[in-house]
A and B are shown apart, each in its own frame.
Chain A
Amino acid sequence: AQTVTQSQPEMSVQEAETVTLSCTYDTSENNYYLFWYKQPPSRQMILVIRQEAYKQQNATENRFSVNFQKAAKSFSLKISDSQLGDTAMYFCAFIPFQGAQKLVFGQGTRLTINP
């Protein structure tokens, strides 16, 4: 089954700290695409970062970076210098194989940044 698991339902850190959100997935395919989406209280889904499975280099977008471990099927998100505006639900998702159409989402991690 092609599934995504986020084992941390909730996390809380102080502003300016670094936080890492974990994600594991299951697929037997070699080519697939991984994503992190942010959902603030407005419930808009915002793409944070993406990673192609064929790329060994970890993706980075400003304060956001990933640790992609293909053999372990792990795709964690690191947020550096966290800000109050980072408070949101974070969903890990993937498109499980080349040519697939749908995103498969994890259950989400509720992240709270405290002042």
Chain B
Amino acid sequence: EPEVTQTPSHQVTQMGQEVILRCVPISNHLYFYWYRQILGQKVEFLVSFYNNEISEKSEIFDDQFSVERPDGSNFTLKIRSTKLEDSAMYFCANSQNAPYEQYFGPGTRLTVT
């Protein structure tokens, strides 16, 4: 069964550094999402992406965040200048047609020190 993959599984970075989190979606899926989960808290929506543009974003997704599909397959989340409060698990998700059935990757644990 096709799976969503994410790299790296764990990223440690210093405050102020840029990080790029990568996701390889299921091949025929057209809708892409990023969510985050701060330890012990619920999962929060960051952004959705369809047809090479952002279709919806949350208040969390400020100017420090960006997303792109640089090569038509990988889907990336960039944080330009990380803050301590960006430490969280970041999940990529995607869906095939309708947005409603989203399949999640295993997550990237980001630790900002």
Chain A positions near chain B (C-beta within 8 angstroms): 33, 37, 42-47, 50, 52, 91, 93, 95, 99-108
Contacts and interface: CB of A to CB of B under 8 A. Distances in A.
Interface of B: 31, 33, 35, 37, 41-45, 48, 50, 55-56, 58, 89, 91, 93, 99-107, 109
B43 A105 contact: yes
B91 A45 contact: yes
Nearest to A93: B43
- Chain B interface, DSSP helix/strand/loop, else mixed: strand
25 contacts: A33-B100, A37-B104, A42-B106, A43-B107, A43-B109, A45-B91, A45-B107, A46-B104, A47-B102, A47-B104, A52-B100, A91-B42, A95-B100, A99-B99, A100-B99, A101-B33, A102-B33, A102-B45, A102-B56, A103-B33, A103-B45, A103-B93, A104-B45, A105-B42, A105-B43
Contacts of B55: 101
Contact of A108 (B42, B93, B102): B42
Contact of A45 (B44, B56, B58, B104): B104
Contact of B99 (A37, A45, A101, A104): A101
A40 to B, nearest CB: 11
A50 B100 contact: yes
Contacts of A45: 43, 91, 93, 104, 107
